[in-house]
Every structure is written in structure tokens, then in C-alpha cells.
Amino acid sequence: MLIDVYADVVCPWCYVSEKRLEKALALRLDLAVQRRWHPFQLQPGMPEGGLPWSEFAHRKFGGEENMQAAFAHVRAAGAEDGLRFNFDSITSAPNTVDAHRLILFAAKRELQWGTANSLFDAYFARGMDLNNHEELASLAAEIGLDAGEVRATSERSGHSQGEREPGGGPPAQRTKRPLLRLRQPLRSLGSPTG
């Protein structure tokens, strides 16, 4: 089974979904599964350096009361799966192009899921600034990637939402919302193919 994951590392529901997908797959070790990450930006018009978190969150949720209610809902959903959302530590609503570039770089080394999960955790639990190239390189080194190569990749102009992804896939933003897409029939290892 091939699962295409269209997600953004600043999407709390993407993080919850990814964790739940991992748990479901762990229950079905008899399935042959390949997951592929596809960049998706929740805010494709976000300025290159992002925006201050407080300004962005208040505008997105329509004020403090709505914002806190939304955060409480996400925290409760995440807690069910052992995820920690510390919205008070977030200072920036980033443009996530560089984070996606890092995940695609890691995919060439079979490290895309560790990288995606590390980015989710770094952003939501620790408030990491995903627009800071040095922080991205440091995180990449923790995962086992070469920090120098990551810095060089971040400095190049590269993947944007309008470009085709490596392998000729469709532009990620075409989906209009994050999603998981099953691309082949569900089959157990050793089951008949007919």
C-alpha cells in the first residue's frame, strides 16, 4: 500500500494524524506500506520570514477567547496520543518552504519521517523558529543528516508550492487541504494479488 501524505509541519491536526497513522500501521505489521511526504503549506502566502505568532494567531482565530478554545481542543486531542502542544512557546508563524525542503532532502536518505516528526515536535513542543536556517541545520544533525549540506540546501532557491515535486508528483497545494491518500489497494503480505 502506498500512502501519500500531504501535510504541513505547522498543522497540529497533521501532527495528530501522522501519530495516529503510525500507531495504526504498528498494529498491522503484515501490511507492506510505503509512505511518501508531499509538501503542503497551510499558509502559502506567508511572508518568507513568517509573522509574529501572537499577531497571526489572534487574526486567524478571531481573538484570544477563540484562540484559547482552539488550542485547548488540539491539546486534548494530542494528549490522547502522547503529543505535547505548547502554544505558549511558539513565537513565529513561519513560512514552511525550508522545513519542507529539509524533509525532501531527508527523504533521499530514508529519513523523511524522523525529520517530519522532529520538526512537528520542535515547533509545537519547543517553539522552534522554522525560518531559522541554523536551527533547522542543528535539528537535521540530531537526526543524522549533514548540517553543512542542509545549510547549503536551505540557501538555494528551490522547492515552492508551484513546482512539481521530485518524481513528477502533482503540486501539493492542488489538494487545498492536508490529506492522507491511499494510492494502491490494501493487501496483506503474502495475500493473493488477484
Q: How far apart are CA 91 and CA 48, in angstroms?
A: 15
What's the pLDDT tens digit per position in 146-165? 999 988 877 764 444 433 34
> Looking at the domain 2-182, which fold is it?
Glutaredoxin (3.40.30)
Helical H segments across the chain, by residue range: 12-27, 53-61, 64-79, 97-107, 112-124, 133-143, 147-155
What's the pLDDT tens digit per position in 82-98? 999 999 999 999 999 99
Question: What does pTM read for this prediction?
Answer: 0.84
Distances (CA, A) of 118 to 14, 45, 53, 141: 13, 24, 20, 11
Which is nearest to 14 in space by CA: 86, 90, 120? 120
pLDDT of residue 190 exceeding 50, the answer is no
Q: How far apart are CA 126 and CA 71, in angstroms?
A: 15
